[in-house]
Amino acid sequence: MQPTHAEVARTLAAGHLPASAHIARRQGPFPVRHVADPQGRLLLLSPADGVLTAALRPEQGTDDTALVLDIADVPPLAGAPSLGRVWVAGWARRLDGDEARAATLDYADADPASDLLDVGDSQVLHRVEVAEVRYERNGKLVDVDPDEYAEASPDPLRTIEFDLIADLADHHVDEIADFVRQSLGKAAKAGIDPELVRLDRYGFVVRVGERLARLPFPRRVKDRHDLAHLLHPVLCHRCAGHESSPTR
């Protein structure tokens, strides 16, 4: 089990990573603050008198502007593998009135920024209706179906991935190392301590020497609490004889 291209694209576009916008017939790129709403549509927050708002002003006779949002993964640890890069193309339209108020609530669910209180005054929200999604990793570029992208959900562990890895490294390094060795069997190299470098709702990615290996969970993790429950038999030696391993 591992994330689909649509799930990775939704995770990268969720709003926790830096993004830049390439806007039709405008010089750029433009730095962007954004989140994705529950349908995967992008919400862009910008000052009403800022350069992004000016660049997104539609041409006469239209009410939206074509753009591409470029978002690259930032791994939680130096040397950890990247999830890649996503380009989300669509049409941006400024929101006002009830639409802006509803979108402000969607934005706050992902990022409760204080300047959302100024939307409609000194701040502006644009919504991007997604038309095309392209995902690239390790030199391989794929088209993601926009409907599959909209239906996918971002990984609930991505925003806390660094904290989870740091906690496991600080407090459970021996237990995780034993679990990795047992899971890899002969593939584990003697005398080399495995290193946990990525974690998502489907499993671990560990580095053993120069090799990377994915260790899947038996099911998809729902949230941090669910992850703790799943890992309990691994991290609690006293329970090891009474509960099954998460790999079974």
- Predicted pLDDT of residue 123: 97
**What are residue 134's DSSP bridge partners?**
87, 143
- Predicted pLDDT of residue 141: 98
> By C-alpha distance, which of 187, 216, 185 is closest to 199?
216
Residue 245 placed within a domain: no
List the domain range (segments joined by +) for residue 164.
160-239
- Predicted pLDDT of residue 242: 43
Same domain, 16 and 114: yes
Same domain, 147 and 39: yes
Amino acid at 18: P
Residue 247 placed within a domain: no
- Predicted pLDDT of residue 148: 98
Distance in angstroms (rounded) separating the CA atoms of residues 94 and 109: 20
Same domain, 56 and 137: yes
Same domain, 25 and 79: yes
Instruction: Give the sign of the dihedral formed by CA 39, CA 33, CA 107, CA 78.
Output: positive
- Predicted pLDDT of residue 211: 85
Same domain, 44 and 135: yes
Same domain, 147 and 32: yes
Same domain, 224 and 164: yes
Same domain, 147 and 200: no
Q: What is the pTM of this model?
A: 0.89
Same domain, 112 and 46: yes
Domain end (from 129, 152, 175): 152
- Predicted pLDDT of residue 184: 76
Query: For residue 137, what are the contacts with CB-CB under 8 A and spacing of at least 6?
Result: 8, 82, 83, 84, 85
Tens-of-pLDDT digits for all 248 residues of the chain? 889 999 999 999 999 999 999 998 899 899 999 999 999 999 999 999 999 999 999 998 889 999 999 999 999 999 899 999 999 999 999 999 999 999 999 999 999 999 999 999 999 999 999 999 999 999 999 999 999 999 999 999 999 999 999 999 888 888 888 888 887 776 666 667 788 999 999 999 998 888 888 999 989 999 999 999 988 887 775 444 444 444 43
Same domain, 187 and 119: no
Same domain, 198 and 141: no
Domain count, the chain: 2
Amino acid at 5: H
Residue 16 placed within a domain: yes
- Predicted pLDDT of residue 135: 98
Residue 244 placed within a domain: no
Same domain, 196 and 234: yes
Q: What is the CATH number of the domain that holds 234?
A: 3.20.180.10
